[in-house]
Amino acid sequence: MQKAVLDNYDPSKDLILHSPTGTGKTLAFTLLLDKQLEAETSGTQAFIVVPTRELALQIEQVVRKVHQGLKTTCVYGGNDTKTERNKLREAPTILIGTPGRITYHLERGHINTQHVHSLILDEFDKSLEFGFHGQMVTIIQQLTALKHRVLTSATKMSEIPEFTGIKDYITVDFSDDSSSVPNLKMQKIIAPAQYKLKALFQLLCMNGEKKTIIFCNHREAVDHISNLLEDRELIHDVFHGGLEQSDRELALLKFRNNSNRILITTDLAARGLDIPEVDVIIHYQLPYKEDAFIHRNGRTARMQASGEVFIILKPDEDYPYVDESCTVLELIDELPLPADAPFATLYVTGGKKDKINKVDIVGFMLNLPDVQKDDIGLIEVKDKESFVAVKRTSALTIIKNAANGKIKGKKVKIGRT
């Protein structure tokens, strides 16, 4: 798909890319920017507009790796506006952001659009679904120097809205690509309303240590399930729009680094997020539209892997998009709780702004008593803090022995998240 995008690109035409979740659309349009950015032009040249904060931050990481040396700035709702304004004083070459926050900065004159020639509308259908139509109209109206427009979507669109300005375009369509069709085993569980939570708990015990995402339609259901799992002392995290941005990011980070194996979420996590190696999807509540069902399932069986999907239904529920021949799973009672996730996540009070990197953190920890290389897992370094996955059995020892320690001359604290 990425090769097809680059091979079919024509600078005199716009581009529409349809490709399933997990196939690497971000890298495709990031590489495409190489053909669009002008070395002799100063100021902001490209806008990447996305529906969610998490997707904006994810794209920022990819763009920074591919376009090293070019200033890239990310703006999104929930972030400190003063910090963003300071970053925008020196115009970035590439601006990534959510529609509402980009509009906020445009209205206050924090962004000069004079040289913006490239616009990427990523997960465009999701932006429309989230109600960002008005903000996207406002943004595009102010981009009077546009030469290149790219629109991406995981699903085909029957028509392209006129406000995008996309008229003469090339389509790269991988939405029906058989090589990216997920290898899914789908089963359903029939449970009366009053037994749905019990059924979910039994299913989690049956699945054991598999990495699992539980989808609900509403945040209240997410919190309700979380309370049950907390009572049973089953390690998990929640992810929905009612959480602070820092809590949302931390939940995804801990799921990525194997500090927890269960993530309970709404459709906010159905698309655009980098959550690799998910074994199981559980639909505690089914979505109203088939598209959402497909996107949820796209969280597993990515890139030729296989995955399992479980659908919990009440006896009278009937969804036309659920195959009637889908096997009914009989649940087993009195199974032991799944083992705790192997890692725990520690925070370190130092990050990029302190010139601290992953190698510094590994070196510091390996100098502590009784810490072996295998005790340290994934490390993510943010601007002002870092997060380290360590073997759960070693976490307390590391915290104790790291007291009053220094990394690159800076005194740091290490603790549990």
Is there a single domain that holds both residue 313 and residue 378?
no
Task: Establish if 335 belongs to a structural domain.
Answer: no
Q: Which residues share a beta bridge with 312?
A: 189
Domain boundary among 178, 205, 234: 178
- Count of other CB atoms within 10 angstroms of residue 70: 16
- Residue 270 has a pLDDT of 73
- Residue 321 has a pLDDT of 87
From residue 412, alpha-carbon distances to 344, 366, 408 in Å are 19, 16, 10
Judge whether 149 and 164 are in contact, CB under 8 Å.
Answer: yes
Is there a single domain that holds both residue 314 and residue 271?
yes
| Count helices and strands in the chain by DSSP H and E runs | 13, 20
Distance CA 247, CA 344 (A): 16
Is there a single domain that holds both residue 156 and residue 254?
no
Domain boundary among 295, 328, 361: 328
Task: Establish if 336 belongs to a structural domain.
Answer: no
Instruction: Kindly tell me the burial class for residue 319, based on how many C-beta atoms sit within 10 Å of its own C-beta (0-12, 13-18, 19 or more).
Output: middle
Instruction: Kindly tell me the burial class for residue 404, based on how many C-beta atoms sit within 10 Å of its own C-beta (0-12, 13-18, 19 or more).
Output: exposed
Task: Establish if 201 belongs to a structural domain.
Answer: yes
The residue-averaged pLDDT of 124-145 equals 92
Judge whether 149 and 47 are in contact, CB under 8 Å.
Answer: no
Is there a single domain that holds both residue 149 and residue 279?
no
Is there a single domain that holds both residue 112 and residue 10?
yes
Confidence of residue 301 (pLDDT cuts 50, 70, 90): low
Residue 182 scores a pLDDT above 60: no
The pLDDT tens digits for 366-411 are 999 989 999 999 999 998 999 999 999 999 999 999 998 999 999 9
The residue-averaged pLDDT of 213-230 equals 95
The residue-averaged pLDDT of 162-174 equals 93
Task: Establish if 266 belongs to a structural domain.
Answer: yes
Q: Which two tokens stand for residue 241?
A: 């729009």
The pLDDT tens digits for 198-210 are 999 999 999 999 9
Task: Establish if 333 belongs to a structural domain.
Answer: no
Pairing of strands 46-49, 72-75: unpaired
> Which among 98, 150, 94 has a CA at the least distance from the CA of 126?
98
Could you tell me which residue, 177 or 130, shows the higher pLDDT? 130
- Residue 404 has a pLDDT of 86
Rg (CA), the chain: 23
Residue 302 scores a pLDDT above 90: no
Q: Which two tokens stand for residue 215?
A: 């989808």
What pTM, to 2 d.p., does this model score?
Answer: 0.70
Is there a single domain that holds both residue 83 and residue 225?
no
DSSP track, 104-119: HHHHTT-S--TT--EE
Is there a single domain that holds both residue 6 and residue 65?
yes
Please tell me the number of Cα atoms within 13 Å of 36 on its side-chain side: 31
Judge whether 199 and 314 are in contact, CB under 8 Å.
Answer: no
- Residue 214 has a pLDDT of 96
Indicate the number of domains in the chain.
3
Which of 8-12, 154-158, 298-302, 398-402 shows the lowest per-residue confidence on average (mean pLDDT)? 298-302
- Residue 272 has a pLDDT of 62
Which of 94-108, 169-183, 244-258, 340-354 shows the lowest per-residue confidence on average (mean pLDDT)? 169-183
Is there a single domain that holds both residue 285 and residue 379?
no
Task: Establish if 170 belongs to a structural domain.
Answer: yes
Q: Percent of the chain, pLDDT > 90?
A: 72
Which of 111-120, 175-184, 243-252, 267-276 shows the lowest per-residue confidence on average (mean pLDDT)? 175-184
Q: Which CATH number do you get for residue 318? A: 3.40.50.300
The pLDDT tens digits for 18-49 are 987 767 899 999 999 999 999 888 899 999 99
Distance CA 237, CA 223 (A): 10
* Contacts for 348 with CB less than 8 Å, ≥ 6 apart: 356, 361, 385, 386, 387, 388, 407, 412, 413, 414
Task: Establish if 337 belongs to a structural domain.
Answer: no
Confidence of residue 157 (pLDDT cuts 50, 70, 90): confident
Burial 281-295 (b: 16+ CB within 10 A, else e): bbbbbbbeeebbbbb
Is there a single domain that holds both residue 23 and residue 171?
yes
The secondary structure of the chain in percent helix, strand, coil, rounded to multiples of 5, reads 35, 20, 40
Distance CA 236, CA 223 (A): 11
Q: Any idea of the CA torsion for 238, 240, 245, 248, to the nearest 10 degrees?
A: 30
Confidence of residue 126 (pLDDT cuts 50, 70, 90): confident
The amino acid present at 196, given as its one-letter code, is K
The total number of residues written for the chain in this structure: 417
Range of the domain at 400: 343-416
- Residue 95 has a pLDDT of 98
Domain boundary among 146, 178, 210: 178
Angle at 268 between CA 264 and CA 272, to 5 degrees: 115
Residue 304 scores a pLDDT above 60: no
- Residue 23 has a pLDDT of 77
Q: Percent of the chain, pLDDT > 70?
A: 95
* Contacts for 200 with CB less than 8 Å, ≥ 6 apart: 214, 225, 228, 282, 284, 312
- Residue 142 has a pLDDT of 95
Arithmetic mean of pLDDT over the chain? 90
Residue 181 scores a pLDDT above 70: no
Is there a single domain that holds both residue 174 and residue 221?
no
The pLDDT tens digits for 325-352 are 889 999 988 889 999 999 999 999 999 9
Is there a single domain that holds both residue 124 and residue 186?
no
Task: Establish if 198 belongs to a structural domain.
Answer: yes
Q: Which CATH number do you get for residue 357? A: 3.30.70.330
Confidence of residue 193 (pLDDT cuts 50, 70, 90): very high
Which of 39-43, 286-290, 305-309 shows the lowest per-residue confidence on average (mean pLDDT)? 305-309
Is there a single domain that holds both residue 388 and residue 288?
no
Judge whether 266 and 240 are in contact, CB under 8 Å.
Answer: yes
- Residue 265 has a pLDDT of 94
Terminal Cα distance for the chain, rounded: 39
Q: Which residue has the tokens 């910090």?
A: 83
